[in-house]
Amino acid sequence: MTRLSGITPSGHIQLGNHLGAIRRWAAEGKPEDLYFVSDLHAMTTSHNPARLRSLAGEQLAVLIASGISPDRVFVQSDIARELGALTWILECTCSYGEAARMIQFKEKSKGQAGVRLSLLTYPVLMAADILLTGASEVPVGEDQRQHVELARTLARRFNTTYGEVFTMPEAVLPPSGARVRDLADPTRKMSKSNQDSAGVVFVLDEPDQIRRKIKRAVTDGLSVPAYEPEERPGLANLLEILAACTGGDPAGIAAEHKSYGALKEATAEAVVETLRPLREGANALLKDPAELDRVRKAGAARAAERGEHRLQSALRLIGAG
Ligand code: AMP
Ligand code: TRP
């Protein structure tokens, strides 16, 4: 059972990424698992090359500081040649209709001029990420489930048409309700690509920035804390964040706090302490580019080596080389 997952450097890593995904990757990781920064996926819509490079390095540092072993991380573009080759093979295994049916493509391309072809083909690159490394379990959010399904379809089709090469992957979804919402607008999820970052706590935010954002979190006109996710989503979000950081349960935590002020203070301190080792660890790594570069090169070599025999077999079976 090998796990693989990626995080796209479309913005700075935020609290929801940590609580909903990365910290589980770190806790559940086995020696053969792989986690990567999917920088090639951050080019499917308008992007800035210098910002992308900087975000990719930052995300790699955050993954390591989160407790994922440096032996299990890599940056996607460092194995661009292998992935590019496999993507082409898989594109020759995928119909146009299958790609055009992807919900994310439909949503992101709707009403847009100059849609990049890569926005359509990006799930095939994602299939290549998964199939190259032979991952059997793919931890992702609900929005990526359809893409993992496509990877399964392509693996099955290739294996039955040309010969057995690929492992059948399976999506591993987080427990339901494990969603951190935006502090300024609790109707939407906290996201690293939100234009307005007032309601987004970034993992590398300074403690005072975190305290300020949580203090200003939108709640409701009531004054006594209670856990009512439907009626009081802003407050429920704070309770869920505090519970996720301290290990308690949201309803019990609500009963322990007499006022919104006290609850916000407790939440802010819990988030500051949860993120402290990440911020300190990532900043230390970012100050040591030689070490980060060494980890990056070793990770790329490991990931490429892991996939080499599958790529060679796939090329041979499909009639190339
Ligand atoms: P994304 O930032 O959408 O690329 O997501 C990367 C990973 O973080 C996925 O596994 C998501 O499910 C998880 N994630 C992103 N935002 C949140 C959030 N607000 N709450 C919980 N998990 C999240
Ligand atoms: N597309 C995923 C996202 O936006 C990230 C990703 C890229 C990924 N390649 C992957 C996740 C392979 C799992 C496996 O969240």
- Write the DSSP string, 82-107: HHHHHHHHHHTTS-HHHHHT-HHHHH
129 Cα to the center of ligand 2, angstroms: 8
Under DSSP, is residue 223 helix (H, G, I), strand (E, B) or coil? Answer: coil
Residue 177 has pLDDT above 80, yes or no: no
pLDDT for 90-139, tens place per residue? Answer: 999 999 999 999 999 999 999 999 999 999 999 999 999 999 999 999 99
Q: What is the CATH number of domain 4-172+289-318?
A: 3.40.50.620
Choose which residue among 3, 10, 17, 38 to substitute to test ligand 2 binding: the one with the highest number of ligand atoms within 8 A of its C-beta: 38
| Contact (Cβ atoms closer than 8 angstroms) between residue 191 and residue 183 | no
- With 70 as the cut, is the pLDDT of residue 64 above it? yes
Mean pLDDT in the chain? 96
The band of 176, judged by pLDDT with boundaries at 50, 70 and 90, is low
Q: Of 30, 106, 192, 297, which residue is the catalytic one?
A: 192
pLDDT for the residue numbered 194? 85
Distance CA 248, CA 34 (A): 30
Phi, psi of 303 (to 5 degrees): -65, -40
What are phi and psi for residue 182, nearest 5 degrees?
A: -65, 135
Of 63, 12, 65, the closest CA to residue 37 belongs to 63
State how far the Cα of 146 lies from the Cα of 173, in Å rounded to an integer: 12
Q: pLDDT for 280-320, tens place per residue?
A: 999 999 999 999 999 999 999 999 999 999 999 999 999 99
Per-residue confidence band for 230, with pLDDT thresholds at 50, 70 and 90? very high
Residues in the ligand 1 pocket, defined by CB under 6 Å = 7-8, 16-17, 20-21, 140-141, 178-180, 189-192
Asked if 191 and 14 touch (Cβ cutoff 8 Å), the reply is: yes
Which listed ligand is nearest to 104 at the C-alpha?
Answer: 2
Question: Does 221 have pLDDT greater than 90?
Answer: no
Q: Which ligand 1 atom sits closest to the C-alpha of 17?
A: 8
Considering the chain, what percentage of its residues have pLDDT values greater than 70? Answer: 99
192 is catalytic: yes
Taken in order 163, 103, 142, 72, the sign of the CA dihedral is positive
Average pLDDT of the residues in 169-187: 89
Enumerate the domain spans of the chain. Answer: 4-172+289-318, 207-283
- Of 162, 169, 173, 71, the C-alpha closest to 129 is 169
Active site (annotated) includes residue 108? yes
Residue ranges of alpha helices (H) inside the chain are 15-17, 23-28, 49-65, 80-91, 96-100, 103-109, 117-133, 145-161, 207-215, 233-246, 250-256, 260-286, 289-318
Q: Using the mean position of ligand 2's atoms as its centre, give its distance from the Cα of residue 232 in Å.
A: 32
pLDDT at 321 over 90: no
Strand partners, 58: none
Distances (CA, A) of 254 to 161, 176, 181, 223, 233: 57, 21, 18, 12, 13
Q: Is the CB of 37 under 6 A from ligand 2?
A: no
pLDDT in tens, 237-269: 999 999 999 998 999 999 999 999 999 999 999
pTM of the full structure? 0.96
Q: Which of 108, 110, 215, 297 is catalytic?
A: 108
Q: What's the 317 CA to ligand 1 centre distance in angstroms?
A: 37
pLDDT of res. 219: 93
Provide the token pair at 110.
């709707």
Q: State the Cα–Cα distance between residues 30 and 13, nearest whole angstrom.
A: 23
Number of Cβ within 10 Å of residue 33's Cβ equals: 22
pLDDT of res. 174:
84
Rounded distance, CA 88 to CA 80, Å?
12
Architecture of the domain delimited by 207-283? Orthogonal Bundle (1.10)
Residue 222 has pLDDT above 90, yes or no: no
